[in-house]
Amino acid sequence: YFILYNIWASDIDYFSVKFGELSSEWLGLMSDSFKKNIYKQYTLEQIRDYIRRRLCNVYPDYFKFRANANVKGIFSKIFTGSVVFNKVYRTCPKGHQSHMIESYDCSFYLGETGELHWITIQNFFNICNNKPVSQECNMCGCSMKEIDMFMYAPNMIAVIVSQIATPADHTLHININDNATQYVLCGIIYYGESYFTA
């Protein structure tokens, strides 16, 4: 919450608009609540607790009262917009496709590198639309690959990196509808020894 506040407070007018443009009820709620902090109506701790309670009420299976929530869970809900952001499907060289998954979530979780062997966040995005998978096509038996197709360029994305020591890229270039979109790093959250630091 505090890193989002710091980002928002760095340019209140600009980020109030940007938080609202994602069409995420949570970022809009945060922006409105942060303004109440500026006017000394609430402390940041009160705002954090209010948003935590709201998340617990709306997503009781994800956020248990008096339990620690993980960063992936928090950001996947906060950065969920009202428009489909990406579609994930599997395809073979002959054009056969498997089921498609649609996601409204504008956050990315990068865990262990697995078979992809990416070493930077930019490297991950360069290969994420052409990932080999250990699955054969049901129609022809050819090896399949997984395609991440981004539908639009949201003004903000969250990238969560876990279990890997990888440097933070200050800019990211992501291909969206064959157009390169540049994102600039606004903040970093580190987790260690059971606490977060911004």
Contact 165, 180 (CB under 8 A): no
The pLDDT score that the predictor gives to residue 46 is 93
Is the Cα torsion angle 113, 108, 144, 119 positive or negative in sign? negative
Find where tokens 């809009």 sit: 28
- In Å, how far from its chain's centre is CA 176? 15
User: Which are the contacts of 112, defined by CB distance < 8 A and separation ≥ 6?
Assistant: 163, 164
Give 65-102 pLDDT, tens digit per residue. 666 677 788 888 899 988 999 999 999 999 999 878 99
Residue 38, beta-bridge partner list: none
Residue, of 78 and 132, whose pLDDT is higher? 78
Write down the domain spans for the chain: 2-69, 86-192
Mean pLDDT to the nearest integer, 126-137: 80
pLDDT over 90 for what percent of the chain? 28
Mean pLDDT to the nearest integer, 142-154: 89
Give 17-66 pLDDT, tens digit per residue. 888 888 788 998 999 999 999 999 999 999 988 988 898 899 888 877 66
Q: How far apart are CA 85 and CA 71, in angstroms?
A: 20
The pLDDT score that the predictor gives to residue 191 is 58
The pLDDT score that the predictor gives to residue 139 is 92
SS3 12: helix
Give 162-193 pLDDT, tens digit per residue. 777 777 889 999 888 778 899 998 877 665 55
pLDDT of 109 over the 80 cut: yes
For Cα atoms 135, 138, 142, give the angle at the middle one, nearest 5 degrees. Answer: 60
pLDDT of 117 over the 80 cut: no
Q: Is 12 left (phi over 0), alpha (psi -120 to 50) or beta?
A: alpha
